[in-house]
Amino acid sequence: MRSINFLSFIFFFSYLMSLVVLVIGGIGYIISLFYDIAPIFQIPFSGIAHLKTNAAYSLMGGESFIGEVDANITINELVPNTFSYRLFALIDFSILITVMVVSFRYLINLFGNFGEAKEWADFFTRENYGFIKKLAVLLLIGTIYMFLRDIILSWVLLQDTMLLGESIQFHPDVSNLSAFITVFVLFGAARVFKAAIEMKEESEFTI
């Protein structure tokens, strides 16, 4: 139970920090709608582009290479300079931080119930099943939203990108879809919990 209590504390601390980020960040993004106060209030972007360029390198043992390579170019964030894009940044921040805050709230409730459990059978309750399923749904929404955001930024809004005199086209970084693995794990865990709850209820009804 010590590990459960420790995780409960970590999630509670993370929840408080996310609330602080929500308040301070929200105020900052709102002010940045009208004033260019700081470069931190930007639009997160996970895109990747490919650029063929000349390069040279050497390896241990005397091997070397000089020629053309296919380089991957990434941009981590976009700097909004107009009201509409700053508003986009505010909405994006609000969606993501809300998902984070609510997720931590569910985790606090879930592990709080785990900490109060007297025996293993008490872990499998309808309430805990609901928390796990809601966490999976929230993560699914967040993952889909971020991927759709990167699609819109890459293929619609981001235009005329030049690097080293070459025109490049950004695409969403599909490696971020690995977050779906966590989503599937959570949905699987929720299904296991539901099956265990049904077995528990059937055994109690039989007795």
**CA 206 to CA 200: how far, in whole Å?**
10
Q: At what angle do helices 83-116 and 126-152 cross, to 10 degrees?
A: 160
* Closest to 139 (Cα-Cα) out of 195, 88, 177: 177
Identify each DSSP E strand in the chain by its residue range: 43-58, 64-78, 161-163, 166-168, 171-172
**CA 199 to CA 207: how far, in whole Å?**
12
What phi and psi, each to the nearest 5 degrees, are found at residue 163? -145, 125
Question: Which neighbouring-strand residues pair with 111?
Answer: none
pLDDT averaged over every residue in the chain? 86
Written as one letter, the residue type at 167 is S
pLDDT tens readout for residues 56-74: 888 887 788 888 888 888 8
**CA 85 to CA 44: how far, in whole Å?**
12
Residue 56 CB-half CA count within 13 A: 1
**Boundaries of domain holding 198:** 2-45+79-206
DSSP SS3 for 49: strand
- The DSSP H or E segment spanning 37 is none
Q: Is residue 72 part of a domain?
A: no
Query: Domains in the chain: how many in total?
Result: 1
Model pLDDT, residue 181: 92
pLDDT tens readout for residues 129-149: 999 999 999 999 999 999 999
Q: Is residue 126 part of a domain?
A: yes
**CA 113 to CA 102: how far, in whole Å?**
17
Written as one letter, the residue type at 99 is V
Q: Is residue 119 part of a domain?
A: yes
Q: Is residue 53 part of a domain?
A: no
Model pLDDT, residue 93: 93
pLDDT tens readout for residues 85-123: 888 989 999 999 999 999 999 999 999 988 887 777 778
Q: Is residue 74 part of a domain?
A: no
Instruction: Report CA Rg, the chain.
Output: 23
**CA 171 to CA 177: how far, in whole Å?**
13
Would you tell me how many other CB atoms lie within 10 Å of the CB of residue 58? 10
Residue 147 CA, chain-centre distance (Å), reads 10
Q: Is residue 61 part of a domain?
A: no
pLDDT tens readout for residues 150-189: 888 888 887 778 777 778 888 888 888 888 999 999 999 9
Q: Is residue 180 part of a domain?
A: yes
DSSP SS3 for 207: coil
Q: Is residue 60 part of a domain?
A: no
